[in-house]
Amino acid sequence: MKFPSPSTGWIGRIRALPFILLHVAAVVAPFFVEITWTSVGLGLLLYFARMFGITGAYHRYFAHRAYKTSRWFQFVLAWIGCSAMQKGPLWWAGHHRHHHKYSDQEEDPHSPIVRSVWWSHVGWVISGKFRGFPKAGMQDFDRFPELRLLDSFFTWVPGILLGALCYWIDGWSGVVWGFLVGTVALYHATFLVNSACHLFGTRRYATTDFSRNCWWAAILTMGEGWHNNHHHYQSCARQGFKWWEIDMSYYIIRTLGFVGLVWDIREPTPKALERNLIVAQEAKVSAPEKQPAA
């Protein structure tokens, strides 16, 4: 399958319009509202809460099943993920599984190696090519009607309700600084994993793609920047394999496990951590050698 260039013409512009307007509003609106301590605190709180909705819920649970949970808490995780306004859990996880199946190959939806940094960062999201999700790879979660409804018809509801809550707490300052600016920041922090983490950083493991560990992306994304680690051991709940590789999403998952909301949290085995290691002097090579997948 050959992916197209980002949509052009009036159809492409219409599809991209909500995304573009959200960015314009996030840049312009702050000049017209007061910045308050409440709105700043709200923005930081919601940034990290919704980032976990992407990293801990959409990614490590729905895409990789790195832990187990109850059906009701599964819906809570999906709701939090939707509040980040990056579409639904089935869409997100379905395309992510497809990415891992063809990472940095022609059928990868967002490889900066195969196409461009622009395409991998944002072009694929607004192109219209990926409006649906590959259902063949999501039978495990597609069987839940509440997830199908949330994914198909109510994806925007959690975000809209959250924006209304921000208005109730701190008026328009809450909406702009607490919700709007944070939503755009969430977009691009998440997108960095698709673009920057296949271009910049170090490689600890010889994977069959160009994934890299990028420390600054890991800070912005609560641990997702340890991307080479992740591509080496995809189903693991933990992505920071060394003590100094901070992985806030993993710490939250462990906390949820401690209180009984999640269980069967997958950890890397010592054997897996030692397999396919690249020697230190080769850790910054520009292109990986093709080797069997881990």
157 in any annotated domain: yes
Instruction: Report the C-alpha gap between 75 and 62 in whole angstroms.
Output: 11
Domain contains 255: yes
Burial 145-175 (b: 16+ CB within 10 A, else e): eebeebbeeebeebbeebbebbbeebbbbbb
Cα–Cα distance for residue pair 172/30, rounded to 1 Å: 10
Residue 293 lies in a domain: no
Is residue 294 included in any domain, yes or no? no
Q: At what angle do helices 37-52 and 248-258 cross, to 10 degrees?
A: 80
Segment 101-122 mean pLDDT: 93
Six-digit token pair at 214? 């990028």
d(CA 190, CA 192): 5
pLDDT in tens, 20-57: 899 999 999 999 999 999 999 999 999 999 999 999 99
Taking 70 as the threshold, does the pLDDT of residue 278 lie above it?
yes
Instruction: Report residue 217's pLDDT band, with 50, 70 and 90 as the boundaries.
Output: very high
Amino acid at 4: P
User: Mind listing the pLDDT tens digit for each residue in 160-178?
Assistant: 999 999 999 999 999 999 9
Distance CA 98, CA 77 (A): 21
| Structure confidence by residue, pLDDT tens digits, 59-71 | 999 999 999 999 9
Question: By percentage, how much of the chain surpasses pLDDT 70?
Answer: 89
pLDDT higher than 80, residue 88: yes
pLDDT of residue 3: 42
CA distances from 70 to 2, 142, 241, 262 (A): 39, 16, 27, 7
Output the six-digit token pair for 234. Answer: 């995809």
Tokens for 291, please give them: 């080797």
Residue 1 belongs to a domain: no
Q: Is the separation of the CB atoms in 183 and 24 below 8 Å? A: no
DSSP state of 123: I
Q: Is residue 270 part of a domain?
A: yes
Percentage with pLDDT > 90 across the chain? 81
**How confident is the model at residue 132, as a pLDDT?**
76
Answer yes or no: is 288 within a domain.
no
pLDDT classification of 130: cutoffs 50, 70, 90: confident
281 has pLDDT over 60: no
Is 273's pLDDT higher than 80?
yes
Question: Is residue 120 within 8 Å of 111, Cβ to Cβ?
Answer: yes
Output the six-digit token pair for 223: 């641990």
What does the DSSP assignment read for 254-281?
HHHHHTTSEE------HHHHHTTBPPGG
Average pLDDT, the chain: 90
Question: In the beta sheet, which residues pair with residue 263?
Answer: 68
CA triplet 63, 68, 73: central angle to 5 degrees? 90
Is pLDDT at 129 greater than 90 in this prediction?
A: no
Please check the confidence at residue 7 and state whether its pLDDT lies above 60. Answer: no
Checking if the pLDDT of 90 tops 70, the result is: yes
In a domain, 116, yes or no: yes
pLDDT at 279: 61
The number of domains in the chain is: 1
**Is 0.85 surpassed by the pTM of this model?**
yes
Query: Which structural domain range is residue 198 located in?
Result: 10-282
* Residue 215 pLDDT level (bands cut at 50, 70, 90): very high
Kindly list the distances between the CA atom of residue 240 and the CA atoms of 26, 94, 99, 197, 233, in Å, as whole numbers in the listed order: 32, 24, 21, 14, 11
Q: What is the mean pLDDT of residues 207-223?
A: 97
Q: Which residues have C-beta within 8 Å of that of residue 49, sequence separation ≥ 6? A: 80
